[in-house]
Amino acid sequence: MPASLHVRNLDEDLVARLKRRAARHGRSAEAEHREILRQALSTEAEPSFEELAAQLRALTAGRRQTPSEELLRQMREER
């Protein structure tokens, strides 16, 4: 089943422009909205796992890291 997306609080001028654009393309406003989203997102490259991991490492650089085995040991001792 396809997902639904509801967009609220749109400027009335934006909605009117969407409807005019849809009419020019012979589509409903909803179909035009789907096409705009498809076009906008089809050109955007998804970052690779390696890129996301590098971003996370950069965000956490310099922070104290606790090894997972230490965290597991602490959890076991608390039980």
Is the distance from CB of 25 to CB of 32 less than 8 angstroms?
yes
pTM of the model: 0.59
Instruction: Confirm whether 65 is domain-assigned.
Output: no
Residue 67 and residue 79: Cα distance in Å, rounded? 19
The whole-angstrom distance between residue 49's C-alpha and the CA centroid of its chain comes to 15
**Number of domains forming the structure of the chain:** 1
Q: Can you tell me the mean pLDDT for 6-15? A: 95
Q: How many CB atoms lie within 10 A of CB 35?
A: 14
Instruction: Confirm whether 72 is domain-assigned.
Output: no
pLDDT digits (tens, 9 = 90+) for 16-58: 999 999 999 999 999 999 999 999 999 889 999 999 999 999 9
Instruction: Confirm whether 15 is domain-assigned.
Output: yes
For residue 24, the enclosing domain spans 7-60
Instruction: Confirm whether 74 is domain-assigned.
Output: no
Which of the 8 DSSP states describes residue 47?
Answer: P
